[in-house]
Amino acid sequence: MAISKLRNDGDCMDYLVIGMAYGKFRLVAISGKDTVNKARQKHNLSHTASAALGRALLGASLLASSFKSDTERILLQFRGDGPLSPILALADNGVHVRGYCENPEAELPLNKLGKLDVGGGVGAGMLYIIREKDGSEPYRGTVPIQTGEIGDDIAYYLHSSEQIPSAVGLGVLVDGNGSVRSAGGLLVQVMPGATDEDISVVEESLTKLGSISHRFDQGETPESLLDTLFPQWIELERRPVSFKCDCSKDRFARGLVSLGHDELTDLIEKGETVETVCRFCNEKYLFTLPEMEKLLKQAEE
Ligand SMILES: [Zn+2]
């Protein structure tokens, strides 16, 4: 399926824009309010968890923007010692994202800057990144978590593991009632040919940018964000973004069958409906006793 033909799912209005500036910088900007809100509703996320998982989902989307085929996907796994870790975010080139964090309801006091303490929620540890493509060996990268603020950590990964100097900005603004007011992100990658002077000009504009989530709250769009930074950027492509999981009852049924005869018999002997839950989207799939008995027969074949 051509990516340009992809449509957003339901009422999700999020998208990312891929562009280029002066042939020296690859740009990706994303809006993500509906996507992060969906994650919040699915997982009943606390304010800090919405910001942390939201940034991870948007970060995974920014990285997935480089994918060319439907079979590629990227998994970010933040394994820190904070109460929200591990945090997992997975994105394909659609761009469909899904993910979860441990203790989704954990709340932390605001940090010294009066902001949601994403860094404290993630904690110190490692960031694992896996790029998967059907039919080839997955690429794996591991870097120490720098600040746990997610954007910094992804930029560090890109620089140290993929040797692409990059700036990553990610922001999620959460309302007092817990709903996501705005969410957005930006990735700027330095291409070969950019001089030190080019880079310092861009760095200066990035510093002046301020809070990305506040900019999106005030009506910023991915295009207007790039207009601000690079007056003469060129749009190459855009893709819709949404929170969407590829789980299904069939897939969980296959998982149950793979447990084998003994474990299935144990579950059936309890005499209760079996409930399975997808970690990535929190969707529940129920298996009644007659359904379980059918699965047991399949396991015996
Ligand atoms: Zn799912």
Distance 282 CA to ligand 1 centre (A): 6
Distance 292 CA to ligand 1 centre (A): 20
Q: Which amino acid is at 264?
A: L
What confidence tens digit (pLDDT) does each residue in 162-197 have?
899 999 999 999 999 999 999 999 999 999 989 999
Rounded to the nearest whole angstrom, what is the distance from the C-alpha of residue 298 to the centroid of ligand 1? 23
Under the banding of pLDDT at 50, 70 and 90, the label for residue 68 is confident
pLDDT in tens, 276-300: 999 999 999 999 999 999 999 999 8
**pTM across the whole model:** 0.93
CA of 225 to the centre of ligand 1 (A): 32
Average pLDDT rounded to a whole number, residues 66-86: 94
Is residue 12 within 8 Å of 243, Cβ to Cβ? Answer: yes
Q: What is the pLDDT of residues 5-14, one digit of tens each?
A: 445 656 779 9
Asked whether residue 127 carries a pLDDT value surpassing 50, the answer given is yes
Q: Count how many Cα atoms sit within 13 Å of the Cα of residue 55 in the half-sphere of its side chain.
A: 31
What is the CATH code of the structural domain delimited by 249-300? 3.90.1280.10
Query: Is residue 4 scored above 50 in pLDDT?
Result: no
User: For residue 117, how far is its CA from the centre of ligand 1 (angstroms)?
Assistant: 27
Residue 179 CA to ligand 1 centre (angstroms): 22
CATH 3.55.30.10 domain extents, the chain: 3-243
How far, in Å, from the CA of 24 to the mean position of ligand 1?
39
Where do you find CATH 3.90.1280.10 in the chain? 249-300
Residue 40 to residues 48, 167, 207, 244, 271, Cα–Cα distance (Å): 11, 26, 29, 13, 34
The reported pLDDT for the residue numbered 248 is 97
pLDDT tens track for 233-276: 999 999 999 999 999 999 999 999 999 999 999 999 998 999 99
CATH for 3-243 is 3.55.30.10
pLDDT of the residue at 5:
43
